[in-house]
Amino acid sequence: MGWRGILGFDFGIVQAPLGPDISGPELVAAVANSGCLGFLRAPDWEAPDHLRELIRKTRTLTDKPFGVGVVLAFPHAENIKAILDEKVAVLQVYWGECSQDLVLQAHRAGVKIVPQVGSFDEAKKVVDVGVDGIIVQGVEAGGHIIGREGLITLLPRVVDLVRDRNIPVIAGGGIVDERGYVAALALGAQGIVLGTRFVATDESYAHPTYKKKLVDLERTAYTDVFGRARWPGAPHRVLETPFFQEWRNLPSDENESNQPVIGYSTIHGVEKEVRRFAGTVPNATTTGDIESMAMYASAGVGLINEIIPASEVIKRLVEGAQSLINKQFAA
Ligand SMILES: Cc1cc2nc3c(=O)[nH]c(=O)nc-3n(C[C@H](O)[C@H](O)[C@H](O)COP(=O)(O)O)c2cc1C
């Protein structure tokens, strides 16, 4: 049955790590307290002490297990050491090599390791180094997108790849409600990962204007307009805000490095300038021209109609999937 758990959690629902700090302790604890796997997001720079604080703060809000996500494209050795020292339940990695050594380090610390991949070839590589689960990201996903393939074609191939290996496959990209959940199960996934749906919750650390736009707007675009200097060659899916529509054809030699400062954000305890075309979404501390900042969003954003608690997102997914399967697919 589709609402069974994965990796020791009650339910097969995962809240993606949401950079740079949108999935903070409040969101992750709310997800953990609902029986699901939530991921904090490690800073994009070495900040092991701050990361330990985030993990410990989360532990004051829940006694359930949770995980941390690390983007391997940025400095991370000290952060990973802190995560393993703290023995969180699961380490999620993305955008970089999930090496055998990293898997061994995690396992020695008693931490499960689950990479997010965007292609069949990448899936093959991580299966061979002994990961504990695979997150398959379709091109429908909000945020950065590592592959080019749609979930409906990529997912069953990865499911077939691991058929005899007892590695759970978790599907992400465009899943917002119980229909997406059941569709992913039909394609062979054991779990689902949602990013954008969890940005639009009470507990996420996103700026209220960003949350409101996720409810109000319906269209997204696959683009490379934002964050070209800091994270080159990293396409992403964003909301088609009026700002994005005006600048969607930004010449390829332009990037955020020589643009005006349009606001300020405190990110993981550090105050940062936000330049026009920066790849950082507005968080709860951001001031300035919020409407002109990047707003990552799922191709499924048109299905998000209200900001609700994370526990309610999970309740609707679990009960909705149960009822959908019983009513429409049971014999
Ligand atoms: C605001 C935002 C930030 C994200 N940050 C990260 C991140 O730091 N690391 C990561 O692995 N994935 C990140 N993702 C992508 C998610 O892991 C996931 O693939 C995606 O959200 C799933 O698609 P969905 O948005 O349609 O649910 C982010 C997504 C969003 C919307």
d(CA 21, CA 226): 17
d(CA 201, CA 312): 9
Q: Scanning the structure block, which residue is given the tokens 């707007």?
A: 217
Is the pLDDT at 2 greater than 80? The verdict is no
Does the CB atom of residue 196 touch ligand 1 within 6 A?
A: yes
Does the CB atom of residue 69 touch ligand 1 within 6 A?
A: yes
* 95 within some domain: yes
Structure tokens at 212: 């409101």
Structure tokens at 63: 């006694």
Which atom of ligand 1 lies closest to the CA of 135? 19
Is the pLDDT at 3 greater than 80? The verdict is no
| pLDDT of amino acid 330 | 81
At 179-192, the pLDDT tens digits run 999 999 999 999 99
Which atom of ligand 1 lies closest to the CA of 116? 11
The pLDDT confidence band at residue 21, using thresholds 50, 70 and 90, is very high
* 229 within some domain: yes
Are 34 and 140 in the same domain? Answer: yes
At 40-82, the pLDDT tens digits run 999 999 999 999 999 999 999 999 999 999 999 999 999 999 9
At 121-166, the pLDDT tens digits run 999 999 999 999 999 999 999 999 999 999 999 999 999 999 999 8
Are 157 and 234 in the same domain? Answer: no
* 7 within some domain: no
CA of 247 to the centre of ligand 1 (A): 23
H/E/C letters for each residue in 104-125?
Answer: HHHHHCCCEEEEEECCHHHHHH
Are 233 and 124 in the same domain? Answer: no
Are 75 and 121 in the same domain? Answer: yes
CA of 169 to the centre of ligand 1 (A): 17
* 3 within some domain: no
Higher-pLDDT residue of 330 and 88 is 88
Q: Is residue 32 within 8 Å of residue 62, measured between CB atoms?
A: yes
Are 35 and 109 in the same domain? Answer: yes
Are 128 and 241 in the same domain? Answer: no
Is the pLDDT at 256 greater than 70? The verdict is yes
Query: What's the CATH code of the domain at 139?
Result: 3.20.20.70
User: Which residue in 106, 48, 117 sits closest to 82, CA to CA?
Assistant: 48
* 294 within some domain: yes
Does the CB atom of residue 115 touch ligand 1 within 6 A?
A: no
> Residue 227 is part of which domain span?
208-301
CA of 331 to the centre of ligand 1 (A): 36
CA of 322 to the centre of ligand 1 (A): 26
- Residue 293's Cα: distance from chain center in Å? 19
The pLDDT confidence band at residue 206, using thresholds 50, 70 and 90, is very high
Does the CB atom of residue 142 touch ligand 1 within 6 A?
A: yes
**How many structural domains compose the chain?**
2
- Residue 213's Cα: distance from chain center in Å? 18
Are 155 and 218 in the same domain? Answer: no
Are 227 and 188 in the same domain? Answer: no
Does the CB atom of residue 16 touch ligand 1 within 6 A?
A: yes
Are 82 and 223 in the same domain? Answer: no
Which atom of ligand 1 lies closest to the CA of 195? 21
* 257 within some domain: yes
Burial class for 272, CB neighbours closer than 10 Å (0-12, 13-18, 19+): middle
| pLDDT of amino acid 1 | 41
* 5 within some domain: no
Are 198 and 222 in the same domain? Answer: no
At 80-104, the pLDDT tens digits run 999 999 999 999 999 999 999 999 9
Ligand 1 atom 21 nearest Cα: 195
* 325 within some domain: yes
Does the CB atom of residue 137 touch ligand 1 within 6 A?
A: yes
Are 106 and 191 in the same domain? Answer: yes
Are 50 and 129 in the same domain? Answer: yes
CA of 19 to the centre of ligand 1 (A): 7
